[in-house]
A and B are shown apart, each in its own frame.
Chain A
Amino acid sequence: MYGYGGKILRVNLTTGAITAFPTPENLARDFLGGRGFGIYYLYTEVPKGADPLGPANKLIASSGPLSGTPVPGAGKMDWTCKSPLTGGYASASVGGMLTAELKYAGYDSIILEGQAEKPVYLFMEDDRVELRDASHLWGLGAITTEVRLKQELGEEFQIATIGPGGENLVRYACIHHDFGRQAGRGGVGAVMGSKRLKAIAVRGTGGIQAADPKGFYQAARKMIKACKESEGLKAWQRYGTPMVVSWVQEVGALPTRNFSTGAFEEAPNLYGEAMRQKIVITDKGCFGCPSPCGKYSYTRRHGVYVEGPEYETIGMLGSDVGLGDIEDVAYANYLADELGVDTISVGGVIAFTMDCFERGIIGPQDVDGLDCRFGNREAVFTLIQKIARREGVGNLLAEGSKRAAQAWGKGAEDLAVQVKGMEVSAYECHRAPSMLLAYMTCDVGAHHNRAWAITYDIQTGRDTITPDKAARVIFLQHIRPLFDALGACRLQWVELGLDYNLYAPALQALTGVERSTEDLLRISERIWNLTRLYWIREVEGFGRAWDAPPPKFTKFPAESGPTKGQLTTWEEAQSLLDMYYAQRGWDANGFPTKAKLEELGLTEFAPY
């Protein structure tokens, strides 16, 4: 099958059985790859009601058809499973080199199932696949483990690891790769840890054949050329995602002190310029990327190397916990990476803890005597370590802000800034209707990557609650996750203005299958609706209430900055949902209608 690795690997950790089967052509036709393959296997193979941290859950790692080719930024890999954080669908994306290497080894996906008795790692060198003892690696940090395996196996192996956070089943543990890249969200690292799988190491020597090599070469060349000629290229190369910190601060969307305000008085210390000047040493790109947002840094104050911090980490482990020094943020970033927890969720959880502390909902006795006021860097560093090791209060905080809020009560629920149990990423939404709707309806919980709609709010006005805002969110929820099915990065389109209509011809030359941009977007809509069906199937009573906005944005007006005194009312949020459901072809409870499912070819999957 042109463009694909050609096989899917199945690894049963319980029995040790390793098998492979050809990638089904109809699967590629209907679900494309990446997160499309992930949700297909999650939906069809993981039994209803499976314990996310039990042997019945599966972790599915998938490349996409473009992965490992010269199409710009073709270095994205999807990790899908049932989420231990939300109880619903989890899909986390990681860049780096792994997705390309997996295809060179001849595989599109790895389905990891069961649960090993003892720590193991998965060794893959082309067709030679083995489960190997990992007892010497268990307990080590995620980066340290990568170093050790590269020493043992060779530099050419591409490696994914978990840290203590994953081993200790922190519900938002991440999977680490390539010295600072993470599949961050939804607890994919905890699922890997529950299977006692410490790492995956892959080396592939094969190639990806194109149906029309010359045509594909020309299509990819055209895309590379367009990227190189983009006006936005130089600034993006220099600063990466931290470039947006100043803009986000300017429009009052920088999460500050647990989303109490969108303007942080120390923000200039966190701007891309300050970071570049103080700590960045190397630009570090994922596979085939002309515009590397990865900024590899060294903090002299703390004496550690770290990739980043990127924008979300600056927001969540910087302004949102009150830290206004890029070197401290870099160190917090390093701790989270090495210990293997998602920087966004751990930042959100710590900010929530600090908010509860400052409001007197909890006291020092609840947090092991720590001074949990905003801006206390030692508290931030200590809490990350306690969470990853589940020590003291860390054991509760490792459960996520929603569960911690339920345990603390006394109004803490209103301060947990989460949707579906997932902590909101770094865009403050007191008055940003599209962005708020994007968080409410994102298919993994409150994550920005499905629909980065904040710019649309700024362009069209933040006051208006109008159908075009819902339409914009839906469009973004189809186009952006399409990249996660193709196995490529969206940022060349978002930041360099690369025409998304260039992807379909490139894909066609690569695979030999005729498909238009509209066809691809239709596949993305099919994937989106199947993820919705997964929530409906797995979460009892799932419906509209699960798309509710965090009370922080509806009950507590912004404390300062451009949106001072503003909020989005509950009624306005519900109105946005009505427009969204109607435009999606979903009923008033957020269920896809029978007609919509039929239109998308999903009738056979419907649990109702």
Chain B
Amino acid sequence: MYLHADSNKCSGCRACLVTCSLYNAGKPHWGKPSDRPDGSYGENNPKKAALSIIPLFPAPGVFKVRTCTQCGECAKVCPADCIVQTASGAYFIDQARCLGKDCLKCAEVCPEEVIFTHEDYAAPWKCNLCGQCVQACGMDVLSIY
């Protein structure tokens, strides 16, 4: 089970990105409010989202959506063994045990380039299959199955 994207339907609006960040992003740990000790929410910041949209303009004039397929390649190469699969099927980067930005072996091998970093965070993060983006998308681009 993973987050599928039909790029042909995408209008590039980034509602998915900003909703993802408002739900998930936050210092010091990246994750759903329910995963956090204080249940806190994040901030409005698409650069802290766990999927990406690549606009290809002016030609050919389409958007390409990149999502995590939960393939597990990242977990295989993690020297700290800090990327583990949860019950939902999502691989999760344990921010506390991650070696941080000096490593990033997970990002190097990710075939979809959907392991992200930001200067506000010590560790990278990835899609946790929370499904917020699916509900935010007005164009029915995203689905989890």
Contact = CB atoms under 8 A, between A and B. Distances in A.
Interface of A: 68-70, 72, 75, 97, 100, 104, 143, 147, 155, 178-179, 205-210, 213-214, 216-217, 220-221, 224-225, 227-228, 233, 237, 281-292, 294, 296, 298, 305
Nearest to A338: B58
Contact of A104 (B47, B58, B60, B139): B47
Q: Pick the 5 closest A-B CB pairs, nearest first.
A: A290-B138, A207-B45, A207-B43, A213-B41, A285-B13
B55 interface: yes
A229 to B, nearest CB: 11
Interface string B127-144: 000000001111100000
28 contacts: A69-B18, A69-B22, A69-B44, A72-B15, A100-B14, A147-B58, A205-B119, A207-B42, A207-B43, A207-B45, A217-B22, A217-B23, A221-B136, A225-B135, A237-B139, A282-B11, A283-B139, A285-B12, A285-B139, A287-B18, A288-B14, A289-B138, A290-B13, A290-B137, A292-B138, A294-B11, A296-B57, A305-B58
Nearest to A334: B58
A207 B40 contact: no
A216 B43 CA distance: 10
Contacts of B58: 143, 147, 179, 305
B138 A282 contact: no
Interface in B13-39: 13-15, 18-19, 21-23, 25, 33
Given A206-B45, A213-B42, A298 B18 contact: no
A214 B138 CA distance: 21
A216 B11 contact: no
Contacts of B40: 213
Most chain B beta carbons < 10 A, residue from A97, A209, A228, A283: A283
B97 interface: no
A289 B15 contact: yes
Contact of A305 (B46, B47, B59, B139): B59
A210 B44 contact: yes
A69 B136 CA distance: 12
A178 B14 CA distance: 14
B18 A70 contact: yes
Nearest to B55: A155
Contacts of A296: 57, 61
A284 B57 CA distance: 11
Contacts of A288: 13-15, 18
A100 B60 CA distance: 25
Nearest to B40: A213
B51 to A, nearest CB: 15
A62 B2 CA distance: 39
Contact of A282 (B44, B54, B61, B136): B61
B24 to A, nearest CB: 11
B23 A305 contact: no
B43 A208 contact: yes
Contact of B44 (A70, A179, A205): A70
B44 A285 contact: no
Nearest to A103: B44
A289 B13 contact: yes
Contacts of A298: 61
B39 to A, nearest CB: 8
B126 interface: no
Given A210-B44, A213-B41, A284 B54 contact: no
A284 B11 contact: yes
A288 B119 CA distance: 24
Contact of A70 (B22, B119, B139): B22
A292 B135 contact: no
Contacts of B139: 237, 283, 285, 290, 292
A278 to B, nearest CB: 15
A208 B45 contact: yes
B118 interface: yes
Given A205-B119, A288-B18, 17 more contacts: A70-B18, A72-B138, A147-B58, A205-B118, A207-B43, A210-B43, A224-B19, A224-B135, A224-B136, A224-B138, A225-B135, A283-B139, A284-B12, A285-B13, A292-B138, A305-B57, A305-B61
Nearest to B44: A208
Interface in B43-83: 43-48, 54-55, 57-63
A97 B14 contact: yes
A209 B138 contact: no
Contacts of A208: 43-45
Given A155-B54, A224-B136, A224-B138, A292 B11 contact: yes
Given A208-B45, A224-B135, A289 B22 contact: no
A27 B77 CA distance: 53
A292 B13 contact: yes
Given A214-B33, A291-B138, A305-B61, A207 B48 contact: yes
